[in-house]
Amino acid sequence: MKVHECIEISRPILEAMRRAGVNLDDVKYLEMYKRFLTMKGEGLKVSYIAEKLSDEYQIRPRKFYYILKKFDSVV
């Protein structure tokens, strides 16, 4: 499959994601977000999770919170 074919098939989804401010690079934070949900479900505090995962993924805590907000938004 060629790139343009993939884009054409996925066009409605890609357009919705673009309107929501999703960047293709955000896919690298998907596992981090899943871990956040698991840790939060275990009862850990969000500030502790933010510090731990920020260190692990080598991002600033502010970016961590930005990613959470983006991933929690409705498309």
Q: Name residue, tokens 């692990």.
A: 56
Residue 8 inside a domain? The answer is no
What percent of the chain lies above the pLDDT cut of 70?
A: 100
Residue 18 inside a domain? The answer is no
pLDDT band at 20 (very low <50, low <70, confident <90, very high): confident
- pTM (predicted TM-score): 0.81
Residue 32 inside a domain? The answer is yes
Average of per-residue pLDDT across 1-22: 91
Residue 62 CB-density burial (10 A; 0-12 exposed, 13-18 middle, 19+ buried): exposed
How high is the pLDDT of residue 54?
96
- Rounded CA gap, 67 and 63, in Å? 6
6 pLDDT higher than 80: yes
Average of per-residue pLDDT across 26-42: 96
Q: Domain count for the chain, please give it.
A: 1
Q: Where in the sequence is the domain holding 61, given as residue range(s)?
A: 23-75
- Rounded CA gap, 11 and 68, in Å? 25
